[in-house]
């Protein structure tokens, strides 16, 4: 099979499009022919400096396609089913293997391209807001990187839950595009100090829940934007800035919480997160939630697609098509 691979980490131009051995499903695993690959933020970070499971390495968390083979004991699905899958790597290829517990059936009427975008972004957004953020109606949410996959999902969910929704983005134009999805107040972080703006918009109260996917110094400053008893959920390091030690001294007197979050951990330990992701897929299929796809690239152009994401011009998800 063909795959976008690399032999060393680095800039997008490390990608090579090559023939590699096709994977074979083991016990409890399924093999899919990949039809759509959603490039996740973690994919670009792993390509930049993550661990290599081998040489060549196939990066990628999330892909959707059709089941071609079932390993022994894999009885949850049937050959020919359309599924969306997640895994620690292997999505940037024509085929991939995952445990059946990391795959979800795609409902009739939901496109494979849309389904490919759901588990990581929508599952992460939902858990950040409700499982770990304990969001309540009437509270204020600040969503960083509002135009990204997690951001777009979180804005919709928070609005539907009765929250006041604030988000950051790099331009006024991108913020305007978020308003039909549920954004109440946008903050252009390229022009304004988001902490000061968050305090101003909330009359000094701050944000009750912050979905923080930028990391670095942005995480430290997010703690300054928290309300009394606020909850900040850290889900990524999109800024790629240095990881300075956090000063949490202001959190104790304000009874605030800081949580790290990784969807993969929740999927590994128990079935709650699996059911939650199933609910998000159903919500998109019903039209209650919306997937936003910016553009698609052929798998042969994986380097160009990663470079486009890193340009921060994308609005929503970017897909690779084998």
Average pLDDT over residues 95-99: 98
Domain identity same for 110 and 125: no
Q: Which tens digits make up the pLDDT trace of 198-232? A: 999 999 999 999 999 999 899 999 999 999 999 99
Last residue of a domain, one of 212, 245, 261: 261
% of the chain beyond a pLDDT of 90 = 94
Q: Which tens digits make up the pLDDT trace of 114-155? A: 999 999 999 999 999 999 999 999 999 999 999 999 999 999
In a domain, 266, yes or no: no
Cβ 162 vs Cβ 137: under 8 Å: yes
Domain identity same for 124 and 253: yes
Average pLDDT over residues 79-93: 97
Total number of domains constituting the chain: 2
- Widest distance between CA atoms in the chain: 59
Query: Which of 7-11, 67-71, 103-107, 235-239 shows the lowest per-residue confidence on average (mean pLDDT)?
Result: 235-239
Query: Which residue from 4, 2, 20, 31 is spatially nearest to 102, judged by alpha carbons?
Result: 31
Whether residue 280 is predicted with pLDDT greater than 90 in this model: the reply is yes
In a domain, 269, yes or no: no
Q: What is the DSSP string of 225-277?
A: TEEEEEEEEE---TT----PPP--TTTTTTT-EEEE--HHHHHHS-SHHHHHH
240: Cα within 13 Å, side-chain hemisphere: 13
Domain identity same for 108 and 133: no
Q: Distance between CA 157 and CA 122 in Å, rounded?
A: 9
What value, to the nearest 5°, has the Cα angle with vertex 119 and ends 122 and 150?
Answer: 35
In a domain, 25, yes or no: yes
Average pLDDT over residues 157-167: 98
Cβ within 8 Å of residue 116, ≥6 positions away: 35, 36, 37, 38, 62, 63, 64, 84, 319
Number of neighbouring beta carbons within 10 Å of residue 188? 16
Query: Can you give the pLDDT at residue 236?
Result: 85
Helix axes 302-310 and 41-49, enclosed angle (nearest 10)? 110
Domain identity same for 201 and 224: yes
In a domain, 43, yes or no: yes
Domain identity same for 125 and 256: yes
Domain identity same for 136 and 70: no
What are the tokens at 213? 């996917």
Determine phi and psi for 318, rounding to 5 degrees: -115, 130
Cβ 64 vs Cβ 49: under 8 Å: no
Domain identity same for 251 and 316: no
- Whether this model's pTM surpasses 0.75: yes
Domain identity same for 243 and 139: yes
In a domain, 94, yes or no: yes
Query: Can you give the pLDDT at residue 295?
Result: 97
User: SS3 for 167?
Assistant: strand
Domain identity same for 113 and 245: no
Q: Distance between CA 104 and CA 77 in Å, rounded?
A: 9
| Residue 239 pLDDT class (50, 70, 90 cuts) | low
Query: Can you give the pLDDT at residue 32?
Result: 98
In a domain, 55, yes or no: yes
Domain identity same for 75 and 202: no
Domain identity same for 246 and 307: no
Last residue of a domain, one of 261, 283, 299: 261
| Residue 241 pLDDT class (50, 70, 90 cuts) | low
Query: Which residue from 5, 7, 16, 28 is spatially nearest to 89, judged by alpha carbons?
Result: 5
In a domain, 256, yes or no: yes
Q: Which tens digits make up the pLDDT trace of 243-253? A: 678 889 999 99
Domain membership of residue 223 as a residue range: 120-261
CATH number for position 296: 3.90.180.10
Domain identity same for 47 and 83: yes
CATH number for position 175: 3.40.50.720
């Amino acid at each position: 099979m063909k795959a976008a691979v690399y032999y060393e980490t680095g800039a997008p131009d490390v990608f090579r499009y090559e023939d590699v051995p096709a994977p074979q499903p083991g016990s409890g695993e399924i093999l899919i022919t990949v039809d759509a690959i959603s490039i996740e933020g973690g994919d670009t970070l792993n390509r930049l400096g993550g661990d290599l499971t081998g040489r060549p390495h196939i990066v990628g968390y999330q892909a959707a396609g059709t089941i071609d083979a079932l390993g022994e004991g894999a009885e949850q699905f049937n050959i020919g089913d359309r599924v969306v899958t997640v895994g620690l790597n292997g999505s940037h290829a024509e085929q991939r293997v995952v445990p059946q517990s990391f795959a979800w059936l795609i409902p009739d009427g939901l496109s494979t391209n849309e389904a490919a975008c759901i588990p990581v972004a929508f599952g992460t957004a939902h858990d950040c807001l409700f499982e770990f953020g304990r969001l309540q109606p009437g509270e204020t949410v600040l969503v960083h990187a509002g135009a990204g996959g997690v951001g777009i999902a979180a804005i919709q969910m928070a609005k539907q839950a009765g929250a006041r929704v604030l988000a950051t983005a790099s331009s006024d134009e991108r913020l305007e595009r978020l308003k039909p999805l549920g954004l109440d107040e946008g903050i252009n972080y390229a022009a304004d100090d988001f902490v000061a703006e968050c305090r101003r918009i909330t009359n000094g109260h701050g944000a009750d829940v912050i979905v923080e996917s930028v990391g670095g110094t942005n995480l430290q400053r997010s703690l300054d934007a928290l309300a009394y008893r606020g909850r900040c959920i850290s889900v990524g390091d999109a800024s790629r800035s240095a990881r300075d030690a956090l000063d949490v001294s202001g959190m104790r007197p304000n009874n605030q919480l800081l949580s790290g979050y990784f969807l993969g951990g929740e999927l590994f330990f128990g079935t709650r997160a699996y059911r939650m992701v199933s609910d998000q897929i159903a919500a998109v299929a019903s039209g209650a939630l919306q997937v936003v796809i910016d553009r698609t690239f052929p798998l042969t152009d994986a380097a160009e697609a990663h470079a486009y994401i890193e340009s921060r011009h994308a609005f929503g998800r970017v897909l690779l098509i084998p």
